[in-house]
């Protein structure tokens, strides 16, 4: 049973979300967003409420073995661990090469077919960057016409080379924690130079800050603690170098192709329009190295099938952007998704091209919209937030009941 404080915090957070969505319908998403980011008192209050809710109330639920709940933060840690240190990146590299070969029907294809072969050829060639292959294009997705000419494709921003940077798990001391308060998440005693460069967008209280195999850049509209930099991801620039404000507390620009992982944990549904959510995903694409992961956690307390169409439409849009889905898990109160930025964009878009959708299904009418159920809610113009139709409950239960830390 939720305490009064828990309920009050959740109610405040939900009211901020609802008001932003309502204003977006009334004034348009850009005006609504401008007004929202100018409300510094509300943003600060939201940050404090969110931190308290997550670190106090949700943490208590996770620690309660009777509730059998999984923690979204642990989910992100374990995905990164499996992918970067336990062979996931090699597995998906090989899969990508094989699919690409099938698509192009070109068996000769540089003579390279597996991750190991590529890695060996890389090591034996002097003068190459130490990076996993990455898009030549700086701010646009890898073009379909990109050839598998690996040397040509190396990019100075790429430093991800799993065979050396992310050593195999045997070289790291992997332990499964027995501490029930720790949700059995992997802990690794880790070499300092083997860190996953992670961008946490909408970080709030920097939940990944203490993880020893992450090198975290945490950003938020309104940081709730030191270590989180102020930044509106929607207006942040992407360029050739990181740019910070004079006092180093704000991020103005981040470097293209410089992150191994971008995390959107309870971020996308905060944004009031499908176009803004898409803009964030595209930014994540451009900030990631090829082979990097976009991890998305989005709240939904309903059963797995209830909003499956939405999840499929996300996959469709992200596939067209150049992402291959590598993992999907429905937890009791959230969908958890992992997408890999493909080197061969055609491998990613192939999935979308094979799908058949009803012409009437508006979720699939556009390549540049990430819809959530709340988009189909109609609001009245009254001052109080009042739902007249549609599903505004998708994340309401989440914040009420959510047992995540
Ligand atoms: C629901 S909270 C989630 C906090 C944290 N990620 C977690 O899982 O506990 C959403 C956060 O996203 C931040 N946010 C929303 N839009 C943002 C944007 N455009 N740029 C940066 N942060 C944003 C909000 O300020 C808020 O702290």
Residue whose Cα lies nearest atom 26 of ligand 1: it is 202
Distance 106 CA to ligand 1 centre (A): 45
Ligand 1 atom with the smallest distance to the CA of 54 is 9
Q: How far is CA 350 from CA 103, 161, 364, in A?
A: 9, 25, 16
- Res 86: pLDDT: 94
Find the angle CA(25)-CA(29)-CA(199) to the nearest 5 degrees: 135
Label residue 221 by pLDDT band (50, 70, 90). very high
Ligand 1 atom with the smallest distance to the CA of 236 is 20
Label residue 58 by pLDDT band (50, 70, 90). confident
DSSP codes of every residue in 168-217: -GGGSEEEE---GGGTT-EEEE--TT--EEEEEET-SS-TTTT-TTEEEE
Q: What is the mean pLDDT of residues 223-228?
A: 96
Write out the H or E segment, with its range, that includes residue 378: strand 378-379
DSSP codes of every residue in 30-93: HHHHHHHHH-HHHHHHHHHHHHHIIIIIIHHHHH-GGG----HHHHHHHHHIIIIISSHHHHHH
- Res 363: pLDDT: 87
- What single DSSP character describes residue 250? B
Distance 291 CA to ligand 1 centre (A): 25
**220: annotated binding-site residue?**
yes
Most confident of 178-192, 204-218, 344-358: 204-218
- Res 105: pLDDT: 77
User: Which of 319, 379, 324 is CA-nearest to residue 349?
Assistant: 319
Rounded distance between C-alpha atoms, residue 100 and residue 209, angstroms: 37
Mean pLDDT of the chain: 79
Which region among 17-31, 147-161, 248-262 has the lowest average model confidence (pLDDT)?
147-161
Label residue 136 by pLDDT band (50, 70, 90). very low
Q: What is the mean pLDDT of residues 43-58?
A: 93
Q: Yes or no: say if 35 and 386 are a contact pair by the CB < 8 Å rule.
A: no
Q: Is it the case that residue 156 has pLDDT exceeding 90?
A: no
Domain 4-86+166-401 grouped into CATH 3.30.300.30: no
User: Residue 45 burial (CB < 10 Å; 0-12/13-18/19+)?
Assistant: middle
Q: Is 266 in the pocket of ligand 1 (CB under 6 A)?
A: yes
Torsion angle of C-alpha atoms 266, 269, 274, 278, degrees rounded to 10? 0
| 328 phi and psi angles, rounded to 5 deg | -140, 130
Per-residue pLDDT tens for 268-308? 999 999 999 999 999 999 999 999 999 999 999 899 998 99
Most confident of 69-73, 149-153, 215-219, 373-377: 215-219
Per-residue pLDDT tens for 331-384? 988 999 999 999 999 999 999 999 888 777 888 888 899 999 988 877 665 544
Distance 203 CA to ligand 1 centre (A): 6
Mutate to test the pocket of ligand 1, among 228, 236, 267 (most ligand atoms within 8 A of CB): 267
**202: annotated binding-site residue?**
yes
**Every domain of the chain and the residues it spans:** 4-86+166-401
Q: Is it the case that residue 391 has pLDDT exceeding 60?
A: no
Mutate to test the pocket of ligand 1, among 202, 249, 403 (most ligand atoms within 8 A of CB): 202
Write out the H or E segment, with its range, that includes residue 118: helix 115-123
Q: Is 234 in the pocket of ligand 1 (CB under 6 A)?
A: yes
- Res 166: pLDDT: 56
Q: Find residue 340's DSSP bridge partners.
A: 293, 324
Distance 139 CA to ligand 1 centre (A): 24
Q: What is the mean pLDDT of residues 142-151?
A: 36
Residue whose Cα lies nearest atom 25 of ligand 1: it is 221
- Res 171: pLDDT: 39
Residue whose Cα lies nearest atom 24 of ligand 1: it is 202
Q: Is it the case that residue 129 has pLDDT exceeding 80?
A: no
Residue whose Cα lies nearest atom 21 of ligand 1: it is 220
Rounded distance between C-alpha atoms, residue 47 and residue 53, angstroms: 10
| 335 phi and psi angles, rounded to 5 deg | -95, 135
Distance 268 CA to ligand 1 centre (A): 8
Q: Is 225 in the pocket of ligand 1 (CB under 6 A)?
A: no
User: Which of 318, 316, 396 is CA-nearest to residue 362?
Assistant: 316
Distance 309 CA to ligand 1 centre (A): 25
Q: Is 81 in the pocket of ligand 1 (CB under 6 A)?
A: no
Find the angle CA(244)-CA(249)-CA(252) to the nearest 5 degrees: 30
Q: Is it the case that residue 248 has pLDDT exceeding 90?
A: yes
Label residue 57 by pLDDT band (50, 70, 90). confident
Q: Is 90 in the pocket of ligand 1 (CB under 6 A)?
A: no
Ligand 1 atom with the smallest distance to the CA of 43 is 25
* pTM to 2 decimal places: 0.81
Which region among 171-180, 224-233, 333-342 has the lowest average model confidence (pLDDT)?
171-180
- Res 276: pLDDT: 98
């Amino acid at each position: 049973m939720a305490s009064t404080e828990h309920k009050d915090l959740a109610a405040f957070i939900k009211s901020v979300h609802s008001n932003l969505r309502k204003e977006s319908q009334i004034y348009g998403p850009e005006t609504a967003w401008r007004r929202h980011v100018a409300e510094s008192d509300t943003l600060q209050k939201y940050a404090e409420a969110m931190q308290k809710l997550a670190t106090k109330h949700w943490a208590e639920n996770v620690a309660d073995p009777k509730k059998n709940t999984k923690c979204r933060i642990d989910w992100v840690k374990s995905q990164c661990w499996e992918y970067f240190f336990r062979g996931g990146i090699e597995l998906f590299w090989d899969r990508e090469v094989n699919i690409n070969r099938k698509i192009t029907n070109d068996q000769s294809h540089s003579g390279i077919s597996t991750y190991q072969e590529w890695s060996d050829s890389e090591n034996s060639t002097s003068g190459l960057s130490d990076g996993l292959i990455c898009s030549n294009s700086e701010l646009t997705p890898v073009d379909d016409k990109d050839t598998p000419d690996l040397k040509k494709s190396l990019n100075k921003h790429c430093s991800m080379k799993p065979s050396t940077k992310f050593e195999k798990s045997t070289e790291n001391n992997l332990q499964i924690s027995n501490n029930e308060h720790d949700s059995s998440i992997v802990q690794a005693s880790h070499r300092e130079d083997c860190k996953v460069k992670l961008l946490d967008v909408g970080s709030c209280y920097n939940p990944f800050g203490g993880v020893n195999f992450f090198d975290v850049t945490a950003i938020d509209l309104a940081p709730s603690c030191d270590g989180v930099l102020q930044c509106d991801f929607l207006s942040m620039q992407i360029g050739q170098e990181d740019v910070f404000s004079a006092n180093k507390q704000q991020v103005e620009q981040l470097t293209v192709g410089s992150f191994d992982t971008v995390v959107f944990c309870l971020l996308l549904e905060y944004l009031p329009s499908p176009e803004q959510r898409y803009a964030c995903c595209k930014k994540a694409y451009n900030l990631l190295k090829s082979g990097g992961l976009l991890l998305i956690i989005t709240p939904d307390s309903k059963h797995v099938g209830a909003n499956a169409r939405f999840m499929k439409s996300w996959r469709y849009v992200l596939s067209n952007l150049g992402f291959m889905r590598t993992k999907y898990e429905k937890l009791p109160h959230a969908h958890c998704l992992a997408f890999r930025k493909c080197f061969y964009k055609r491998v990613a878009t192939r999935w979308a091209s094979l799908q058949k959708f009803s012409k009437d299904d508006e979720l699939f009418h556009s390549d540049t919209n990430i819809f959530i159920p709340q988009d189909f809610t109609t609001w009245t113009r009254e001052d109080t937030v009042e739902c007249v139709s549609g599903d505004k409950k998708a994340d309401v239960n989440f914040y009420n009941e959510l047992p995540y830390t």
